[in-house]
A and B are shown apart, each in its own frame.
Chain A
């Protein structure tokens, strides 16, 4: 039975990809934002500078909305494994389940306990307990991310298990399962990606408000902090990404072949295909623009290193090449643009013009969503590259399905698409509305932000009591 001409398998894959992509956008942002909030709150407690307090309050609201959308879209995920992928759950559940279980317990732990206090309870519990709650939320998001990337990594590079007569994966060594070969790379790459996603979103908001009002101190702080992240974390991320790629070459060479658009094995140095259109039917990459030897140099760190092509594998064990090929290039291109912004900001900062370079601000506004796109692109690369397996080399996607008919999967897919676009579309609209609010001006803005023209008549170095009880002087 089919639904609109599609089989249950492809419908279920689209449904999982759709629901998990939507879900992932929220944690990708909230992981970084949680840490950012902890830093802001810490800076406020330390310096008693009202600007940090107001920034905390500003981003807190945005975080709350994002987090709520992450929670509700996450509930769907813990049931998707069962509704559409019950054979996978039956067989791989004993391994994947406890890892997801730990993710849930951790996420839950911080949600049940600390989030309410971090968001609403400052006055009720006092500053110290509130800071602990904020920090725990940040740590909790990171621990959660660790568990879930471990589970995901195990599907790519399974280790530490045996298989029984029913085809069920029996956990033998949890250490090997958790720290499976691709886990350290994938986790680092993912968490850094989340930080960069937040940095560029925060940077864009800061830049937007700087374009409206260069003197807005909170916009300056946001922008400056975000640009430090861009300048420092982007190069680290590129380095980690390279290591992750080498790890993939070792464990999933077919995925690399798809990403690189190689059908033939190159024994005397593979070119780097910059652009092209991989064609799985014809087993060739059309319109390829290549740089000789560079592929081997990047992947093997030598000019003549051997790179296997997709033809090394039977057709039923190859991933489709087009999607990983394209999404990988999108991710890399965005990474390079991020690096460009980071370097540009360093240059502007060095020149003392970080807040006076409108083109940098405009570019940052345009890059505001780059992290989200890059995260999804990178993720599609690795997940489509995992095909045709759910547990790499052991359990095929086709054998992981639920015994649910195509019309059921198709109908539920349409429901999800309709609901998600309405709900999260409006959610993103409100988020953008929240981000367009200018950060409220500080009492001290006038003396602080007095530029050369306005200095006259304003007494510098005013120290004043402010409503939050602390002192600050400029």
Chain B
């Protein structure tokens, strides 16, 4: 067979994870910046801007998890026990925030409690996703077909750094989304918030990028060895370009440009991870091929994925199209 299905699937899973990060990133970000918008009316507009799409966004996470179990069961079986606590904390945070989102409409007296839940849930979920990522980049102890480390291995200075980076990054996605979807006072305040967040995120991306190559030799070789460095260097160059576009958009009162540029930063950081990882799923331990399920499993699910994923994308695009444009503060979805 000419095409190795495990690589096709690695691409699909990577796409699902990226789709999750960019889509749920901005709606988590809205929760993260809740404290900066204190009136109920502002918060209603903010949550209305994501009401029709947030649970669709979140399902990419289920697809990533479910997909990983289906096509890379060994990677799934090693990574999840290794990242046990961050994943559990992320899950309960997502629960908290998901229901807080619905419940804040169902009550007047307790709505500030649910707003608090929405903020804390969004923030902890983002932080834990970043920490899980950092822990994976640092490497996982494996023996045979099992995780061989303890249940606190994930907590390191590096993983905390990546956690904060993701938190700040999602906040930036959130405010640039608000800049895109809202008008008047909320938009102005979002745009103001976006500037310090952009600077903080760029600084964090810089530190993480400089630190990563020194975690192990493989990463170092990728980024500084010849000829790989030639190709790898496109990532930082494009990042710089994106940063410029972002800043330009923010200083010239553009509505769409900053959001797209912020998405671009995420896509490129993700590509940078790909450069470091390939062809490993768990750095230095388990390659894509080794982690893959038997051919019959890959084939069977691929049929569904090839049909359904494009349809899902089409309908997702349609849903965004239906709810396009600036939010009318008077038109509630609830």
Contact = CB atoms under 8 A, between A and B. Distances in A.
Given A111-B59, A170-B294, A423-B99, A76 B91 contact: yes
Contacts, number: 241
A105 B70 CA distance: 12
Interface stretch (B47-55, B172-180, B224-232, B277-285): B47-55
Interface stretch (A85-93, A302-310, A357-365, A379-387): A85-93
Contact of B73 (A93, A114, A433, A434): A93
Interface residues of A, number: 72
A124 interface: yes
Interface in A73-111: 73-76, 78-79, 81-83, 86-87, 89-90, 93-98, 100-109, 111
B308 A106 contact: yes
A38 interface: no
B2 interface: no
A116 B51 CA distance: 8
Contacts of B305: 101, 105
Nearest to B93: A419
Contacts of A73: 95
Interface in B162-193: none
A104 B66 contact: yes
Given A104-B67, A107-B59, A83 B103 contact: no
A71 B103 contact: no
Contact of B77 (A89, A105, A114, A117): A89
A76 B309 CA distance: 22
Given A104-B59, A112-B59, A120 B333 contact: yes
Given A97-B293, A98-B297, A116 B145 contact: no
B99 A69 contact: yes
A420 B99 CA distance: 11
Given A98-B301, A124-B322, A405-B151, A104 B312 contact: no
A172 B51 CA distance: 43
A72 B101 CA distance: 11
Contact of A403 (B58, B68, B102, B146): B146
A112 B56 contact: yes
B254 interface: no
Contacts of B85: 408, 412
B87 interface: yes
Contacts of B80: 79, 82-83, 86, 89, 402
Interface in B139-170: 145-148, 150-151
A264 to B, nearest CB: 41
Given A87-B146, A416-B92, A171 B294 contact: yes
Nearest to A19: B91
B60 to A, nearest CB: 8
B270 interface: no
Interface in A368-403: 402-403
Interface string B295-327: 011001100110011011011101100110000
Interface string A409-434: 00010011001100110110010011
B77 A86 contact: yes
Interface residues of B, number: 69
Given A68-B98, A75-B62, A172-B296, A82 B77 contact: yes
A388 to B, nearest CB: 21
Contact of A116 (B53, B74, B301): B53
Residue among A104, A171, A172, A405 with the highest chain B CB neighbour number at 10 A: A104
Contact of A74 (B62, B92, B316): B62
B309 to A, nearest CB: 8
A174 interface: yes
A69 to B, nearest CB: 6
B301 A113 contact: no
A427 B103 contact: yes
A115 B56 contact: yes
A64 B315 CA distance: 19
Contacts of A323: none
A83 B65 CA distance: 11
Interface in B10-56: 51-53, 55-56
B294 A72 contact: no
Given A71-B58, A86-B146, A174-B296, A76 B312 contact: no
Contact of A430 (B79, B95, B107, B146): B107
Contacts of A424: 99
By secondary structure, the B interface counts as helix
Interface in A108-150: 108-109, 111-117, 119-121, 124-125
A117 B56 CA distance: 12
A115 B69 contact: no
A337 B62 CA distance: 38
A166 interface: yes
B93 to A, nearest CB: 9
B304 to A, nearest CB: 5
B76 A89 contact: yes
A111 B56 contact: yes
B21 to A, nearest CB: 15
Interface string A2-28: 000000000000000000000000000
B146 to A, nearest CB: 5
A404 interface: yes
Given A68-B98, A124-B322, A116 B92 contact: no
A95 B297 contact: yes
A76 B65 CA distance: 10
13 contacts: A72-B58, A79-B65, A81-B69, A97-B66, A98-B71, A107-B59, A113-B315, A115-B55, A119-B333, A121-B323, A403-B81, A423-B96, A433-B106
Interface of B: 51-53, 55-56, 58-63, 65-71, 73-74, 76-81, 84-85, 87-89, 91-92, 94-96, 98-99, 101-103, 106-107, 145-148, 150-151, 293-294, 296-297, 300-301, 304-305, 308-309, 311-312, 314-316, 318-319, 322-323, 333
Given A102-B304, A116-B319, A420-B95, 18 more contacts: A68-B102, A69-B99, A78-B65, A82-B81, A89-B77, A93-B70, A98-B300, A104-B67, A109-B308, A119-B52, A174-B296, A402-B80, A402-B81, A408-B84, A408-B85, A412-B84, A419-B95, A423-B95
Among all A-B residue pairs, the 5 with the closest Cβ atoms: A93-B73, A113-B315, A82-B80, A97-B70, A72-B98
